[in-house]
A and B are shown apart, each in its own frame.
Chain A
């Protein structure tokens, strides 16, 4: 023991006399250890690959995939390449994330505001909703909706029919497809009305600046939107007809065709992702609203602002600043969580690429790296955006 402490002392004295060593030595050590680990792993990998006769590299991406994907936003068949299969998976991931983000935001804001309601019953129900859906594993929720609820739907020939145009059965949910004539005019109408609203807002702001007159912006915007679009629809003779899904029987197999079909995997996944993430968003919203100092509302009231003006001019702008960063983080979590798709065979990037394509090609390193890099790119770009947003909006402090 004595010798040990003596040597330690000596080392300490030596280090104190040579401060540069304490700076460079640990860094050198880390680099050394990392290099050793990486070269050890690569050495093993290359021998293993050679032994199994697997080539490394990304050339396989051009090869024919020769598998089918059940659900795709772009054309895909088994003659297409692995690269295109990757794209199909990526688009499906983005699709389910987009749907999930939309509904999670709507539900989350709604529940978060109800949670703060003065109505105790409503606030407790919102709290129960939050506690239940955030404390049950997401995968379990996905399984529940997919295997326990959607599987209870009847078979195609006995479809559940809602309002005469929604057909739900075990193979999915079918809704009519919109068939537009002169659709262009509707697009023009939309563009023109949005432009008009923008111009109107600009001038009403200017008018208020110059004369003090306040124009009810929301109502007027709504009127502008409706009127301009109606005009375009009438002038352009825009027509809308619906193609209803029709039950077809082919060699005893019943199936709907003609409408838009949404596969049950997508429904279960989007539904669970929305419910699960909405609980976290609700908490962010609640924290954001509670995070505004009581003094702010009092000060606003003391200079004579009305309740709705306080909400519009003081509470919402400040609450959004608090809410947006954590909610963006939840969007990122939702996108990462959409990878649970693989467990119910929704063809997202993990299932299509890290699953099927990997199984066929055996290119573990390349495929897993591409998949991870894809998510990493998404994450990093979102956090860069968030840093930019925070910097732009952070209240300048002394």
Chain B
């Protein structure tokens, strides 16, 4: 299998503080990985480096054959192929849900308005909020907003989807509707990197689970093995805390 994301010895510092320490990771096409770990372990920073919302200082990140460095052209190309979903949704509050979705297809992919709206309609139907298309983000519930955000990312028809704790800011009763959309997406064959604490989701869809602590990848295993016989003490402790 060909790897679509490749991280080699990636290091990153915030000032004096090292957030990522020698990260090595490969993600294959259509693979689904879940990254978990205690807060402050660097897992969000890691996936934010993949579409260069954060810059790494040492090592190489290669996405879809393109090496990420200070070259701006590459970054925008990468970003249009890598969709990202944020913890806080980050929908544009001054645009309707439909306009949120058509914005990038129109301005980045230079689609006509009609084409863009067709794409948007397709994905809004997929996440089941087509009836909210004319509303503004502020009028939607958290779960609906997060599904709209997923649709917005999908409208760029990305090869890879990154999820940064997509359900952490949601009320419990809304988590399921978002996870359902994500499971559906996974079944459709999307390459996905998901930072989450939803272990049920990990068990259901992940091919591999990665556990991070203090900026390092502590454990990396196929899902079954990860849950059934974790090796590292910290992983065990984390799992026991989060599963109970």
Contact = CB atoms under 8 A, between A and B. Distances in A.
Interface of A: 208-214, 293, 295-296, 298-306, 309, 313-314, 317-318, 321, 395-398
Interface stretch (B21-29, B101-109, B228-236): B101-109
B141 interface: yes
Nearest to A206: B113
B53 A298 contact: yes
B90 to A, nearest CB: 4
A228 B111 CA distance: 32
A294 to B, nearest CB: 9
B159 to A, nearest CB: 13
Contacts of B122: none
Contacts of B121: none
A313 B107 contact: yes
B110 A213 contact: yes
B222 interface: no
Interface stretch (B76-84, B175-183, B202-210): B76-84
17 contacts: A209-B114, A210-B112, A212-B109, A214-B107, A298-B53, A302-B83, A302-B86, A303-B80, A303-B104, A303-B155, A304-B108, A304-B156, A305-B107, A314-B92, A318-B94, A321-B94, A396-B135
Contacts, number: 94
A398 B88 contact: no
Interface residues of B, number: 39
Contacts of B227: none
B92 A300 contact: yes
Contacts of B82: 302
B124 interface: no
Contact of A305 (B83, B104, B113): B104
A212 to B, nearest CB: 4
Contacts of A395: 93-94, 136, 138
B124 to A, nearest CB: 15
Given A212-B115, A306-B76, A293 B90 contact: yes
B92 A299 contact: yes
A396 B79 contact: no
A208 B104 contact: no
A210 B80 CA distance: 22
Contacts of B224: none
B153 interface: yes
Q: Give the top 3 A-B pairs by smallest Cβ distance, nearest first.
A: A304-B80, A209-B113, A299-B90
Contact of A302 (B84, B94, B111): B84
Contacts of B106: 208, 212
Secondary structure call for the A interface? helix
Contact of B104 (A212, A295, A304): A304
Nearest to B99: A313
Interface of B: 51, 53, 76-77, 79-80, 82-84, 86, 88, 90-94, 103-104, 106-115, 135-136, 138-141, 149, 152-153, 155-156
Contacts of A397: 138-139
Contact of A313 (B103, B136, B153): B103
Contacts of A213: 110
Contacts of B90: 293, 295-296, 298-299
B86 to A, nearest CB: 6
Q: Which of B53, B77, B109 has the most CB of A within 10 A?
A: B53
Given A298-B53, A302-B51, A210 B114 contact: yes
B138 A301 contact: no
Contact of B112 (A211, A293, A296, A398): A211
A327 B79 CA distance: 36
Contacts of A314: 92
A208 B51 CA distance: 28
B112 A302 contact: no
Contacts of A293: 88, 90
Contacts of A296: 90, 92
B113 to A, nearest CB: 3
A210 B113 contact: yes
A186 B80 CA distance: 48
A226 B153 CA distance: 42
B139 A398 contact: yes
Nearest to A393: B94
B84 A208 contact: no
A362 B114 CA distance: 71
Given A304-B76, A321-B94, A299 B136 contact: no
Q: Which of B82, B104, B135, B156 has the most CB of A within 10 A?
A: B104
Contact of A212 (B86, B93, B111, B149): B111
Contacts of A398: 138-141
A321 B93 CA distance: 11
A395 B76 CA distance: 29
A212 B110 contact: yes
A384 B98 CA distance: 32
Contacts of B107: 214, 305, 309, 313
A47 B140 CA distance: 66
Given A208-B113, A210-B113, A210-B114, A299 B86 contact: yes
Contact of A303 (B103, B135, B140): B103
Contact of A214 (B103, B110, B138, B153): B110
A295 B86 contact: yes
Nearest to B96: A396
Nearest to B78: A304
A398 B104 CA distance: 26
A297 to B, nearest CB: 9
Contacts of B108: 303-306, 309
Contact of A298 (B86, B135, B152): B86
Contacts of A309: 107-108
A351 B106 CA distance: 57
A140 B53 CA distance: 49
Contacts of B93: 318, 395
Contacts of A298: 53, 86, 90
